[in-house]
Amino acid sequence: MNDTSVADMSGDVLLQNWDIYRYFLAVARAGSLSEAAKRLQESQPTVSRKLKELEASLGAQLVERTTTGATLTIAGELVLEHIQKIEREAIGITETLRDDGQKMSGKVVVTAPEGLGVAVLAGGLQKFRVLHPGIDLELRIGAGKLDLMQRAADIAFRVGDPLQTSLLGRCIGTVNFGLYAHERYLRQNPMPKSTSHLGQHQFIELAVGAGKLPQEAALEKLVPEPRRVLRTDNIQIQLNAVKDGSGIGALPGYMAPPSSNLIHLLPQKFAPKVELWILMRPELRDVARVRATASFFADLAAQALRGDH
């Protein structure tokens, strides 16, 4: 089967043995057979076998296996487009029926970075409960990104470019980062008057994943070899270490309100900014409980971002 015939496939052909397509979807989204196997909780040989069965049934190679992962062929891209459309429509039917006539009730799962979740979103839970008593809210926070297309969550807050064009999203504001130190730290260490003084100070670094976070990369431009006394993958630990006077930290402004007794250092010299996005699957835009939840927490986050300057 050539690429043209793949593009002309009918819905009936795609719906045959639908279960096997979840293996292809997992590989397409994960970018490798090994990662797809982890997400599916299957062995890699099983994923490879299922993928070969699908390719044989369609008469076309869908995935190019490489040493670095798996890349979709032109035929694979065409098949992916078809089955994603069917998947979205099927999920949309399920969500619409579950919404029971657009009543403001049912479960909604929201995922967000830990700092935003603890410092901002959690503060609105009581008001949300008063406004929407019928919505069963689940708030999942942490460094890991839950896959919306795999229905691990309904709404996601993402810092930086979300990259997933298949999702419905909008930028709700800009996260402003700054260097902060507690009063007790500055009682024992000189206030830095310029960036050249930062080399004399101690830093608490947030390190998540293999790459540098934007705020940490910006710090290293000012201080090529900062003297780190702690490196952590948890922003709450970073915040607590800064608050107890252990050192200076690059923090989002919404985590350093006036009541925290944190001093904003060199705001004219260090002010990296990163966009904050809210995302959901397109088929959920008309589901009342999801729309109401997204609107409430997006407004809450936007208000916090406006106040962190």
One domain, residues 171 and 250: yes
Residue 248: the pLDDT is: 96
One domain, residues 71 and 118: no
Q: How confident is the model at residue 79 (pLDDT cuts 50, 70, 90)?
A: confident
Residue 187: the pLDDT is: 94
H/E element, 293: helix 288-306
One domain, residues 68 and 144: no
Domain range for 136 is 103-309
One domain, residues 146 and 80: no
Residue 110: the pLDDT is: 95
Q: How confident is the model at residue 162 (pLDDT cuts 50, 70, 90)?
A: confident
pLDDT value at 133 more than 60 = yes
Q: What is the distance between the alpha carbons of residues 202 and 192, in angstroms, rounded to a whole number?
A: 12
Last-in-domain residue among 36, 63, 98: 98
One domain, residues 80 and 131: no
| Residue of 204, 270, 271 whose CA lies nearest to 233 | 204
One domain, residues 163 and 292: yes
Apex 212 CA angle, 209 and 214, nearest 5: 120
Q: How confident is the model at residue 4 (pLDDT cuts 50, 70, 90)?
A: very low
Residue 308: the pLDDT is: 61
pLDDT value at 9 more than 80 = no
Last-in-domain residue among 61, 76, 98: 98
Tokens representing 218? Answer: 């910006």
One domain, residues 282 and 195: yes
* Percent of residues, the chain, with pLDDT higher than 90: 47
Tokens representing 60? Answer: 């076309």
Q: Which residue has the tokens 């979300």?
A: 162
One domain, residues 214 and 152: yes
One domain, residues 94 and 107: no
Q: What is the distance between the alpha carbons of residues 290 and 138, in angstroms, rounded to a whole number?
A: 12
Residue 94: the pLDDT is: 65
Q: Mean pLDDT across the stretch 220-237?
A: 91
In this structure, of 3-17, 202-216, 245-259, 280-294, the range with the lowest mean pLDDT score is 3-17
Q: What is the distance between the alpha carbons of residues 145 and 158, in angstroms, rounded to a whole number?
A: 8
Residue 264: the pLDDT is: 95
Tokens representing 47? Answer: 């994923």
Work out the mean pLDDT of the chain and round it to a whole number.
85
In this structure, of 83-92, 101-110, 137-146, 278-287, the range with the lowest mean pLDDT score is 83-92
Q: Higher model confidence: residue 110 or residue 37?
A: 110
Tell me the C-alpha to C-alpha distance, in Å, between residue 158 and each of 151, 257, 296: 16, 22, 16
CATH number for 58: 1.10.10.10
Last-in-domain residue among 98, 127, 152: 98
